[in-house]
Amino acid sequence: MQQLYDPFYNPEVSYEENLNHGPYGAFADGEVFTKEGEPENEYFGNPVYLPFGIPAGPLPNESFTTAAFHKGFDICVYKTVRTRAHKTHPWPNIVPVDVDGDLTLEKAAQGLYRKDAYTSPIAITNSFGVGSLDPDGWQPDMKKAVQKAGKGQVLVGSFQGTNRGEGEQAFIDDHVLGARLVKETGAKVIEMNLSCPNEGKSNLLCFDTELVKTISQKVKEEIGDTPLVLKLAYFQDQNQLVDFISQLSPIVDGFATINTIASAVRNKDGSQALPGEKRLKSGVCGAPIKWGGLDMVSRLQQLRTENNYEFTIVGVGGVTTVEDYNEYKKRGADVVMSATGAMWHPYLAQEIWKDQ
C-alpha cells in the first residue's frame, strides 16, 4: 500500500493559488535526485534514464515540471493547453472518493460518494475543465520547461482543440494551430488530448474515429517529424478500438491511456460533491482505475504484435507503487506514467529507479 506524503499539487487551495505559488510538499524543497551513468532507455529517440513520468494534469507550469524532473520523473507532460484562454472550473477541483476495490464501469455507473480524507490506496475525482492561459502566457513558460529538462529527461507538450460553436472545420483548424504553438516551444514530443470533455461530435473526441483521423493528418502535416501521441480514454468496445488503432497507427507515433473513469460523485447527504453546473459527473483517478489502464495497454500490445504496428504505448492509470510500474511494463507499456500516485508520493520515481 502506498505511503501518502503531502501532495505537490495542493487540493485545499484554488488552481490559481497552485499555479502562482506551487509546487508544494517535497517538490518545493529544492533537492535534486541525480542518476549516475548514461541513460539506457529512449522515448522517440530521446535518451531517458527511466521510462517513467507524470502525465498531463498535475504539472500546470514550469515550476512543477522542473520540480518533477528534479525528483527523478524523467518524462513530464506539461498540462494540456489551448489556443486561447479558457477558465478553470471553480474550487474545489479535487476531492477524495470512497471506492471499494476496482472502479469497474458498472460500479462507476452507480455513482460514488466523497470521503472525509485522503487515504491509501489513494482515490480522487478531479474536475478542472482543462483551463488554459492565453498562448502569450503559456508558450514562454512551456519553452522554459523544455529547457529545464536535465540529461536523460524529456518535456512533452500537451494540447487540445476548442470549439465554441464555430463548426467542424474551425475545430480542426484549432487543433492544427495548437500543435503549431506547442511545437514552437521546442517540445520534443507533442501529445494531443482526446480524452477530456470537448465540443466534438461525441462526448470524448477519441470515440469519433473519423474526425480524429482528419485532425491527426492535418496536425502531422503541421508538425512534421515531431512525434505525436494521442491521449485516449478507456474503450469498452473492442471493435471500436480495433478500428481506431488500424486507422490511426499509420498516422501518429504513440498512444497514451487511460485518463480517468467518469462517475457521479455525491456528498454523504446526496448533494453534488463538486458544486456548479455539469459537475455532478467527473473523472475518477488513482488506484481503483489501474485495471482499466492495464487492460488498455494489454489490448494495444496485442494489436501491435498481431499487426506489426510500430507505435509507442504509454501506460497510465492507478500507478502508485513500484509493483504497479513493473506490471505495466510486463503488459507491454514502453513508458509508464503516474498522476495521482505521484502527487501523493514525490519519491515514487526514485523508488522505481532503485528497484531496476
- Going through the chain in order, the beta strands assigned E by DSSP cover 41-43, 46-48, 52-54, 75-81, 94-98, 112-114, 123-126, 154-159, 189-193, 228-232, 254-257, 261-266, 281-286, 312-316, 335-337
Given a cut of 60, whether residue 200 has pLDDT beyond it is no
Task: Choose the weakest-confidence range: 30-39, 163-172, 179-188, 312-321.
Answer: 163-172
Which architecture characterizes domain 15-355 according to CATH?
A: Alpha-Beta Barrel (3.20)
**In contact, 188 and 147? CB cutoff 8 Å:** no
Q: How many CB atoms lie under 10 A from the CB of residue 348?
A: 27
Phi–psi pair at 182, nearest 5 degrees: -70, -45
Higher-pLDDT residue of 165 and 95 is 95
Find the mean pLDDT for residues 127-138: 96
**Nearest Cα to Cα of residue 76 among 43, 29, 101:** 43
Given a cut of 60, whether residue 287 has pLDDT beyond it is yes
Given a cut of 90, whether residue 107 has pLDDT beyond it is yes
Say what the pLDDT of residue 202 is.
43
Query: Domain coordinates of the chain in residue numbers?
Result: 15-355
Question: Tens digit of pLDDT for each residue in 295-328?
Answer: 999 999 999 999 999 999 999 999 999 999 999 9
- Sorting pLDDT into bands at 50, 70 and 90, what band is 270? very high
Say what the pLDDT of residue 165 is.
79
Find the mean pLDDT for residues 158-175: 93
Say what the pLDDT of residue 173 is.
97
Q: Determine the Cα–Cα distance for residues 172 and 212; give it in Å rounded to an integer.
A: 9
- In the chain, % of residues over pLDDT 90: 95
Say what the pLDDT of residue 197 is.
64
Say what the pLDDT of residue 60 is.
98
Find the mean pLDDT for residues 194-199: 70
Find the mean pLDDT for residues 187-202: 77
Q: Determine the Cα–Cα distance for residues 58 and 56; give it in Å rounded to an integer.
A: 7
Find the mean pLDDT for residues 147-176: 95
Instruction: Specify the residue for cell string 501523493.
Output: 344
Q: What is the residue-averaged pLDDT of the chain?
A: 96
CA dihedral sign, ordered 205, 209, 212, 216 = positive
Question: Tens digit of pLDDT for each residue in 71-90?
Answer: 999 999 999 999 999 999 99
